[in-house]
Amino acid sequence: MADAEPRPELPAPPRTIYRHRVATRLWHWVNAVAILIMLGSGLMIFNAHPRLYWGIYGANFDHPWLQLPRWPGWATIPAHYNLALARRWHLLFALVLAFGLLLHLVVSLINGHIGKDLRLRRAELAPRHLWADFKAHLALRFHDPARPGAYNIFQKLSYILVIFVLVPLAIFTGLCLSPGFNAFAPWLLELFGGRQSARSLHFIVAAALTLFIVVHLTLVILAGAINEIRSMVTGWWRVPEEDA
């Protein structure tokens, strides 16, 4: 009797990892909408006086450290010039951003997201590890095959910078631009060196957040946009075939 032909090996099913909790996914999308609307409405507010100063005072005849042309309608919210409406949009979504961040931090402390996913380890900050991770990024390898789904050191540093530095700075410098809040907490205005300094810092932070968004979206595309977006919608991330 002839030997039976060996059956061809079937490919293993793709391996998936539960990467993002519900709270993280919800905060991500709410935050994305809030920041997008705040950037557009902020540019409309900036168009009312597109000059930045340092110190307490700044007006038409003072020398600005930065002067930009007015932003086009396609980049602003609303598209037509309406300073009052832009301020309403900006304030509304500033509240969404601030209370969303507070709630996210509380939930992340309770469920261990911060301690598990964002905690910096001494070995990760070693120059050798940073250089190796940097070279891996240049080769379009964005995760460790030994720990699929875990954040790499550059993801951790960028998320820590955004969550604990840039977004709080945007909130507090924005509060300095409210005369009503200045009367309630004048010490905050003094901390930033005056209203014009706070306005300049607010603009710088907004520019830094915009840069983060551009880099973040670029890396999402390079890492596989469908897989990355699916994981931020469903929570489940598919391990690339070469690492599965």
Model pTM score: 0.87
pLDDT of residue 186: 86
Asked if 58 and 38 touch (Cβ cutoff 8 Å), the reply is: no
Q: pLDDT digits over 103-147, tens only? A: 999 998 898 888 888 889 888 899 998 999 999 888 888 877 777
Confidence of residue 240 (pLDDT cuts 50, 70, 90): confident
Dihedral sign, CA of 91, 94, 100, 101? negative
pLDDT of residue 9: 56
Mean per-residue pLDDT for 191-209?
95
Q: pLDDT digits over 173-192, tens only? A: 999 998 888 778 888 989 99
pLDDT of residue 5: 56
In terms of average pLDDT, the best of 53-57, 170-174, 179-183 is 170-174
- Judged against a pLDDT cut of 80, whether residue 70 lies above it is answered with yes
Confidence of residue 58 (pLDDT cuts 50, 70, 90): confident
CB atoms within 10 A of CB 177: 16
Asked if 47 and 76 touch (Cβ cutoff 8 Å), the reply is: yes
Confidence of residue 31 (pLDDT cuts 50, 70, 90): very high
CA distance 161 to 56: 27
Mean per-residue pLDDT for 166-173?
95
Which secondary structure element, helix H or strand E, spans residue 75, and what is its range? none
Give the residue, 99 or 241, on which the prediction is more confident.
99
pLDDT of residue 35: 95
How far CA 91 is from CA of 2, 3, 55, in Å, comes to 80, 77, 24
Which secondary structure element, helix H or strand E, spans residue 65, and what is its range? none
Give the residue, 93 or 118, on which the prediction is more confident.
93
DSSP letter for each residue of 128-162? HHHHHHHHHHHTT--S-TTSTTSPPHHHHHHHHHI
Residue 3 C-alpha from the chain's centroid: 61
pLDDT of residue 100: 93
In the chain, what are the domains? Answer: 16-59+72-238 (1.20.950.20)
- Judged against a pLDDT cut of 60, whether residue 67 lies above it is answered with yes
Six token digits for residue 97: 């951003």
Closest CA to 62 of 169, 230, 196, 178: 196
